[in-house]
Amino acid sequence: PSPMARGKAKEGDGNWKKFIWNSEKKEFLGRTGGSWFKILLFYLIFYGCLAGIFIGTIQVMLLTISEYEPKYQDRVAPPGLTVVPQVLKTEVSFSISDPKTYEEYVEGLNRFLKNYDNSQQTDEMIFDDCPGAFNNAQGQKKVCRFRREWLENCSGILDSSYGYKDGKPCVVVKLNRILGFKPKAIIPRKCCKNVDKIGTVEYYGLGGYAGFPLQYYPYYGKLLQPKYLQPLMAVQFTNLTYDTEVRVECKVYGENIHYSDKDRFQGRFEVKFDIKSS
Amino acid sequence: EEKYTTSISKGLTSARAAEILARDGPNALTPPKSTPEIIKFLKQMVGGFSILLWVGALLCWIAFGIQTAQGVASAFDNLYLGVVLALVVILTGIFAYYQEAKSTNIMASFSKMIPQQALVIRDGEKKEVPAEQLVVGDMVEIKGGDRIPADIRLIFAQGCKVDNSSLTGESEPQSRSCDFTHENPLETKNIAFYSTTCLEGTATGMVINTGDHTIIGRIASLASGVGNEKTPIAIEIEHFVHIVAGVAVSIGVLFFIIAVSMKYKVLDSIIFLIGIIVANVPEGLLATVTVSLSLTAKRMAKKNCLVKNLEAVETLGSTSIICSDKTGTLTQNRMTVAHLWFDDQIYSADTSEEQTTQSFDQSSQSWAALSKIVTLCNRAEFKPGQENVPIMKRVVVGDASETALLKFAEVILGDVMGIRKRNRKLAEIPFNSTNKFQLSIHETEDPNDKRFLLVMKGAPERILERCSTIMINGEEQPLDRERAEAFQTAYMELGGLGERVLGFCHLYLPEDEFPDTYPFDTDSMNFPTSNLCFVGLLSMIDPPRSTVPDAVSKCRSAGIKVIMVTGDHPITAKAIAKSVGIISANSETVEDIAKRLNIPVEQVNKQDARAAVINGMELKDMTTEQLDEILINHSEIVFARTSPQQKLIIVEGCQRQDAVVAVTGDGVNDSPALKKADIGIAMGIAGSDAAKNAADMILLDDNFASIVTGVEEGRLIFDNLKKTIAYTLTKNIAELCPFLIYIIASIPLPIGTITILFIDLGTDIIPSVALAYEKAESDIMNRRPRHKKKDRLVNEQLAVYSYLQIGILQSVGAFLAYFTVYAEQGWLPNTLLGLRVNWEDDYYNDIEDSYGQEWTRYQRTYLQWSGYTAFFVSITIQQVADLIIRKTRRNSIFQQGLLRNKVIWVGIFSQIAIALILCYGLGSVTALNFTPLRVQYWFVAMPYAILIWVYDEIRKLFIRQYPGSWWDKNMYY
């Protein structure tokens, strides 16, 4: 019995080297080559089947989903309001004298407005000059043109620095695209608060109209309107107080536009300006 | 004895007694030193997974610190998570601590059940005081039945006998007198020891030692020196914790490295690490195990096994050797008439616990004569006022054999006291060790018969010497050689059964020689004591409990070796061992074989003998190798004439064979063996406090059969714990995979850390406890005890099957739900890949989904929470399937019955109810990250739940169909 007991004791000690490669039994990590082959083959088959089943069920799930519109929109609607340039902590902070400090914002605006260049909207098959008035019966798959120059001072055409070099920064505002979403009634003037510090505010849009024209809605989705251009509004703060932090909150008004305490970008946005005069 | 400033007649004064009490402390044994409560509590705080979770919490706070410094908006999530993790550790620690304290309290209450009083003379008056307040110098009075309250030097004694068995192991009562007979206090007759019992007589004595200074106190403090071994289940759980912690840490570190090399920020990688740890650690499991064990402990307490230490529940189940006492455990601890010999024939009597009649042939005249002797030649009496108590349970004043005879007569004849009254006793010589007989002379109840009846009983050979005739069928016949040989044969046979044999004879004194007024004088013996008429033999034994043979055979089929350890004579021990089946009917000892083959004992091949009866004297001279050899070679072993000290040697011998040893014991001297054993079992009725203190378990009814039911429960809980752990480990993979895929494929996070905690500590708790109520799959008493080192609680198969098969299946099912929620909201699976960085950008408020819609950060977060909820719900639904498949490991669910364990259904309903409450009730609480979910998402993972069930049924089918196959070896856990 004593040699047996000794053998057991060794086993109990956890002989690691022997466990990794047991030359007597030709075992690697406690299994022989054949045993490893069998177990790996089993898992190959097992996971193969499982992958097949998973892909199958995903495909079945996708079959129930339309290519044209999402099944539910309760998480994305009501729409958010996006302000361009999008910057970290929505803090626009620059110094008038140093172009480098606002280069980032100008770049952001350039990038965003590039899609609104006239040269991008030439294809008559896709684009259409929507009549000025709201029209329900317009062609479904055509995209309304939105001219960049309608943004006037903030279009980047007249002033390539979007007013930043004069300390009169522009921001461009858009209502987030929601498929099939039609803003109800007209959108009245949007309003930016904190009046005493922000001074005068200029709004530019379609025909000087300070709102989102309704004829651009609804959006029919990426598949039907791959080149959709949503209407923009530009806001220029022409008389900001310098050398202090100015918080601005802008809201868009409409019957089916809602605000939420939790989502600070639903139907409104906030921007902080910190402009250094020197 | 002025030394103790006391007076023999008046005792101490109260004032003096109070003084000494203040000096010596109370007369009680100091309980074994216990760990301070705070240490116990802190141990719970750092044991098991706690360390890992503390590390997680710490990492959370570090991440919080860094993030706040960087001004990240979501930094507070980490603070909360850290707090939650710390809370989890503290709460589970408190819970485990509470459970342990509760089981300790059971014990505390147990030992306080019998407050002891002592009759003491103080200030010249007799007073009852609690035994704890006795002091040295007190004069105490004791009488039969009392427990001796301290070490006492006797000053006055009358017929005083004490039972010292708990101290010295001597089972015979010891007489006590005032004479100083020996230098050694243990041997001298004038000292009675604390905690022994006075059986009969009265005595007065002076207290000479109290509390820890008593002999017993010194032994008890010795016993606490023997260290406690770790219980097998503690080792198993440690093993399991190591496996899980190993997996958690290695996956965590691996993915930390992967994340860093994938250019994730170190801080993000730390946060991933926390998630991986939380997902990997089954936070609720250890609490669940504790609850399961305590449920079983409760169930066992109902079956008379009181478990002191929760973990002992399972230890009992893995027991492979039981070393059992004989008296009281295997036997009824009560002499009972087993056989009769009269008319040249042996009759056997019923020895069961609940006898009401005896069925042997009672028509013979010889029996009438014998029964008269049995009735009359007996000094034992029932205590009055027990008319309604069953005969066998009545309390009798008298020694064991006389009690047996009295009860035997009462059962057959009824109203023994009445018969004795009608046959008035005129003279009596009580039994003493020199003449070895007892004699009494009676009037007869027949008024016409004026003869006196002399009845005598005693050692058979002595009785026979005094007889010249023998009664056969009521006729007196001369006692010739042939008759004497018949007697010898019967006597040997009964003696060979290990029974105590008594002979009975009588004589009708002739009327003319002994008239009515004859003055019988027992001192001069003025009456004949020879040439009597021999009537018959009666033999008595302490019979086995009726449930024991069955229990022993159960042990045998369960692969548990039962070893009898007794202080009794080898012949008696062997006889009882045979009658309960510890030595089976057809097995022989070396001596038996030698006798059968008529060869010397040395020539017998020891391998041939299954059984062995070892004398304590032989054991004393054995080397450890010889003892090991005996333990290995013989499967049926009886140790006779052993002292309690030798028990320890036997236990150690068994443990050298890698056995899990259970030992029963009652005496103080047993406590080292009880401590040393893997599970020490103390007797609840006969056991001394010291034994109960040292034991892990207390047998409330002192019955061996209760141990076997305990073993069954212990094995069941081991099986069920396996199921619980398998159930719990499965979903850990479903919690872990999201993190891994999140890191590698950069998809929005499928499940949050808080949500994981809600599964681990919410929905999963009740179901995993419910598995403790599962019935056994097959007769668990038909398989061998588990091998301490080979049959692990968590083995490779269990981990692999739970982690790599069912766990992966579950993750896949949950991912389906996740992708469904995202796809139906506009994010098709392919858009999700690589989305993470933009998705989690707090200032990116117009990310396009598959349909060109633009999402703000909060909208995305809210959707992410819906994803969490869907993932959570899917895991819950699949855990229902997991719970059902875990009911069995081999049998089909349909064989086991879906409805037999109702608690499982409580578990399932609780699981779903908790999920519903979290989803719809608390969906609006932002911090919890749950959102109300569309009803149909509850069913998305359903096909996978069914798949899990079907797959497991197939697995079990193959295991049953092809035992021993590759499948069986790799898939049975």
Q: What is the pLDDT of residues B327-344, one digit of tens each?
A: 778 888 788 888 999 888
Per-window interface: A 110-169 vs B, CB < 8 A: none
pLDDT value, residue A64:
92
Q: Which of B31-35, B481-485, B801-805 has the lowest mean pLDDT?
A: B31-35
So what's the pLDDT on residue B169?
54
Neighbours of B292 (CB within 10 A): 24
Q: What is the mean pLDDT of residues A253-277?
A: 82
pLDDT at residue B771 above 70? Answer: yes
pLDDT given for residue A192 in this prediction? 57
The percent of residues above 90 in pLDDT, for chain B, comes to 18
Q: Look at A216 and B869; give whichever has higher pLDDT.
A: B869
pLDDT at A253: 79
A75 touches chain B (CB under 8 A): yes
Q: Does B410 touch chain A (CB under 8 A)?
A: no
CA distance B916 to B613: 66
Which residues numbered 828-847 in B keep a CB inside 8 Å of some CB on A?
A: 828-829, 843-846
Work out the minimum CA distance from A165 to partner chain B, whole angstroms: 25
What is the average per-residue pLDDT within B685-709? 81
Q: Which of residues 863-922 of B touch A (CB under 8 A)?
A: 863, 866
Question: Would the pLDDT of B262 be above 90?
Answer: no
Higher pLDDT pick, B649 / A29: B649
Q: Read off φ and ψ for residue B42, nearest 5 degrees.
A: -65, -35
Return d(Cα B400, Cα B357) in angstroms, integer.
20
- Confidence at A246, pLDDT banded by 50, 70, 90: confident
Residues of A in Cβ contact (< 8 Å) with B846: 80, 82, 86, 174, 176-177
Say whether residue A49 is in contact with chain B using an 8 A CB cutoff. Answer: no
Residue of B nearest to A5 (CA): B657
Quick check: helix, strand or coil at residue B313? Answer: helix
CB contact under 8 A, A70 and B826: yes
Task: Kindly report the length of chain A.
Answer: 278
pLDDT over 70 (residue A185): no
Sign of CA dihedral B639, B642, B645, B646: negative
Within a 10 A sphere around the Cβ of A126, how many other Cβ atoms? 15
How far apart are the C-alpha atoms of B788 and B777, rounded to whole Å?
Answer: 22
Rounded mean pLDDT, B784-795: 83
Q: What is the rounded CA–CA span in Å between residue A116 and residue A105?
A: 17
Q: Are the beta carbons of B505 and B535 closer than 8 angstroms?
A: yes
What is the rounded distance in angstroms from the CA atom of residue A156 to the CA atom of residue A171?
Answer: 11
Rg (CA), chain A: 31
A56/chain B closest Cα distance in angstroms: 10
Residue B599: both structure tokens together:
């060869």
Across chain B, which distance is largest between two alpha carbons, in Å?
134
Please, what's the b/e burial string for B180-210 (b: 16 or more CB within 10 A of its CB; e: otherwise)?
eeeeeeeebbbbbbbbbbbbbbebbbbbbbb
Surface of A (222-251) touching B: CB under 8 A? 222-223, 225-226, 228
The residues facing B339 across adjacent strands are: B348, B539
pLDDT over threshold 80, residue B686: no
CB-CB neighbors (< 8 A) of A65 in chain B = 823-824, 828
Interface test with B, best of A42, A57, A86 (most B CBs within 10 A): A57
Distance CA A21, CA A35 (A): 14
Residue with tokens 């480098």: A100
User: B657: nearest CA in chain A?
Assistant: A5
Q: How much is the pLDDT for A11?
A: 42
Tell if the CB–CB gap between A176 and B848 is shorter than 8 Å: no
* Mean pLDDT of chain B, nearest integer: 84
Positions of B marked active-site: 325
pLDDT of residue A15: 64
Distance, in angstroms, between A253 CA and closest chain B CA? 18
Tokens of B684: 């609840």
CB contact under 8 A, A76 and B804: no
Is A82 an interface residue toward B (CB < 8 Å)? yes
Most confident segment among A134-138, B27-31, B938-942: B938-942
Distance of CA A111 to the CA centre of its chain: 14
- Determine the residue of chain B that is closest to A57 in CA distance: B816
Chain B residues 913-932 with CB within 8 Å of chain A: 926
Residue B110 has pLDDT above 60, yes or no: no
**Per residue in B713-757, pLDDT tens?**
889 988 999 999 999 999 999 999 998 899 889 999 999 888 998
Question: Measured between CB atoms, which of B789, B823, B856 is closest to A80?
Answer: B856
> Are B856 and A82 an interchain contact pair (Cβ–Cβ within 8 Å)?
yes
Question: Tens digit of pLDDT for each residue in B197-242?
Answer: 777 778 888 888 887 777 777 766 655 555 556 777 778 888 888 8
Question: Rounded CA gap, A187 and B608, in Å?
Answer: 105
Cα dihedral: B440, B446, B452, B456 (round 10): -30
Q: Across residues B686-703, what is the average pLDDT? A: 80
A62 touches B: beta carbon within 8 Å: yes
Average pLDDT over residues B292-298: 86
Q: Say if the Cβ atoms of B845 and A82 lie within 8 Å.
A: yes
End-to-end alpha carbon distance in chain A = 94
Which residues have C-beta within 8 Å of that of residue B505, sequence separation ≥ 6? Answer: B373, B455, B456, B457, B463, B466, B467, B532, B533, B534, B535
Contacts 24+ apart (CB under 8 A), A32-37: none
pLDDT confidence band for A92 (50 / 70 / 90): confident
- DSSP-derived secondary structure letter, B759: I
Touching check for B75 and chain A: CB below 8 Å?
Answer: no
Chain A hits for B845, CB-CB cut-off 8 Å, are 80, 82, 86, 176, 265, 269
Cβ neighbours for B397, distance < 8 A, ≥ 6 positions apart: B144, B200, B380, B381, B382, B383
- Look at B284 and B467; give whichever has higher pLDDT: B467
Judge whether B240 and B49 are in contact, CB under 8 Å: no
Close Cβ partners of B227 (under 8 Å, ≥ 6 residues apart): B675
For residues B156-168, average pLDDT: 73
Nearest C-alpha of chain B: how many angstroms from A199?
26
* B contact residues 590-649, partner A, Cβ 8 Å cutoff: 628, 632
Instruction: Locate the chain B residue with the closest alpha carbon to A38.
Output: B966
Determine contact: A54 vs chain B, CB below 8 A.
yes
Q: At what angle do helices B548-557 and B704-745 cross, to 10 degrees?
A: 40
Instruction: Kindly determine whether residue B854 and residue A222, on different chains, have CB atoms separated by under 8 Å.
Output: no
